[in-house]
């Protein structure tokens, strides 16, 4: 064997395989390959069928390395969970803080200073307290616009106090409630939810979901085969190891999700007596949107027979989505998905059942002022007709 052959064999054995990744564009086109990094122009680079392919960030919707992990408790070294208003979820230990900031130690950053006005909530206790976890989730989902909420646990009872956070520190912060300063201690406070305020944060360009359950939001700032650099809202850059990444979800100025819009009209025609409202970013049964083995953060849940009408906020060329019967109802369900543009049919799925695989659709709607999403009865009455429009979006 020649030296060159020996060397190439040794390099193949010594070099770790490039991580596989799936790229999904805003049009819904997917490509599988191996991750190469982010080039100087900010484009994601993969090796696909032996060829280098580049994807500009505004053309991307998703980079996926691995399936999302099941929720699991943070290790003892990361007792706190910090929720930011930009959608980040950072797990770590609070190592400092004052009236304006909290300092968090994470596995990626040893001293991350976060302004309190960027925080949505902080969980201090483990998730095992079901009642407190439920109260915290509800307060976080619908944040009070004027007051902070402190969730105090005593004798397994959860009490919500409304007031103002005065400080947040590693051992004990303070919370002003009815002109009193209440201590914020991890031994009796499950969590703290901050007032939403009147200003909405600017949506981040990217949200990176890690295998440990944390989420980091910011702007793609470079990277190579081993890590992706993310610039956070405060200007701090974090190197996210590719080996720890599940996926990166990207926002494009060319895309508007229908769940962000108010429909002009919703009509429901029940088969019997049950009335089903449509739901945003949830299935019609109020579960996470899931078709077969695919889960969607965004989208619409509808039931037969119903129609959602939208007046378009601008000029759009396509309506894209992944359609199917929600996994919570499958294998039941038999419906027809339809899309109309200014009253003319632009798409008709034919029969879709709970046994069918997810289907990607890309419907031309150029020039339309109004679109309608319609779910009609199939051949099995309305049994299990829980229809999902995963990642339903308008594309410029």
Q: Which residues of the chain have pLDDT under 70?
A: 1-18, 67-78, 198
Give pLDDT tens digits for 359-372.
999 999 999 999 99
Cα–Cα dist 80/122, whole Å: 7
Taking alpha carbons only, the member of 260, 354, 344, 258 closest to residue 308 is: 258
DSSP reduced 3-state for 127: coil
What is the pLDDT at residue 396?
A: 95
| Amino acid 120: pLDDT | 95
Q: Are 86 and 204 in contact (CB under 8 A)?
A: yes
Percentage with pLDDT > 70 across the chain: 92
Which helix H or strand E contains 21, and what residues bound it? strand 20-25
Of 118, 352, 74, nearest to 234 (Cα)?
118
CA atoms of 316 and 236, how far apart (whole Å): 35
Query: In whole numbers, what is the pLDDT of the chain averaged over residues?
Result: 90
Q: What is the pLDDT of residue 170?
A: 86
pLDDT at 15 (0 to 100): 40
Domains of the chain in start order, with CATH, are: 1-64+202-253 (no CATH), 80-193 (no CATH), 255-395 (2.60.120.1060)
End-to-end CA distance of the chain: 57
Return the pLDDT at 76: 53
Q: For position 172, what pLDDT does the model report?
A: 79
């Amino acid at each position: 064997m020649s030296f060159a052959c020996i060397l190439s064999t040794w390099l193949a054995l010594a070099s770790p395989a490039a991580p596989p990744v799936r790229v999904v564009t805003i049009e819904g086109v997917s490509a599988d390959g191996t991750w190469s990094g982010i080039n100087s122009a900010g484009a994601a680079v993969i090796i696909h069928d032996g060829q280098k392919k580049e994807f500009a960030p505004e053309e991307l919707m998703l980079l996926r390395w691995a399936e999302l992990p099941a929720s699991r408790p943070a290790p003892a070294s990361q007792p706190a969970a910090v929720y930011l208003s930009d959608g980040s979820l950072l797990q770590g230990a609070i190592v400092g803080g004052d009236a304006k900031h909290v300092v968090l130690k994470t596995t990626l950053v040893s001293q991350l200073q976060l302004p309190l006005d960027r925080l949505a909530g902080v969980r201090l206790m483990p998730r095992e307290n079901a009642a407190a976890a439920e109260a915290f989730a509800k307060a976080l989902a619908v944040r009070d616009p004027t007051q902070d909420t402190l969730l105090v646990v005593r004798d397994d009872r959860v009490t919500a106090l409304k007031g103002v956070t005065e400080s947040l520190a590693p051992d004990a912060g303070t919370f002003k409630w009815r002109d009193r300063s209440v201590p914020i201690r991890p031994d009796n406070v499950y969590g703290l939810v901050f007032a939403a305020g009147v200003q909405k944060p600017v949506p981040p360009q990217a949200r990176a979901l890690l295998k440990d359950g944390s989420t980091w939001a910011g702007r793609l700032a470079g990277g190579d085969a081993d890590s992706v650099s993310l610039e956070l809202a405060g200007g701090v850059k974090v190197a996210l190891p590719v080996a720890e990444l599940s996926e990166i979800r990207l926002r494009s100025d060319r895309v508007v999700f229908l769940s962000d819009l108010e429909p002009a009209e919703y009509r429901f025609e029940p088969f019997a007596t049950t009335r089903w409202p449509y739901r945003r970013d949830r299935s019609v049964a109020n579960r996470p949107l899931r078709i077969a083995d695919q889960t969607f953060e965004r989208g619409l849940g509808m039931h037969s027979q119903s129609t959602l009408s939208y007046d378009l906020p601008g000029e759009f060329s396509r309506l894209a989505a992944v359609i199917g019967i929600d996994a919570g109802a499958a294998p039941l369900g038999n419906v027809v998905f339809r899309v109309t543009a200014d009253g003319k049919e632009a798409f008709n799925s034919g029969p879709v059942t709970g046994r069918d695989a997810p289907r990607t659709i890309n419907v031309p709607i150029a020039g339309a002022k109004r679109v309608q999403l319609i779910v009609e009865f199939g051949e099995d009455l309305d049994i299990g007709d829980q229809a999902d429009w995963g990642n339903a979006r308008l594309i410029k």
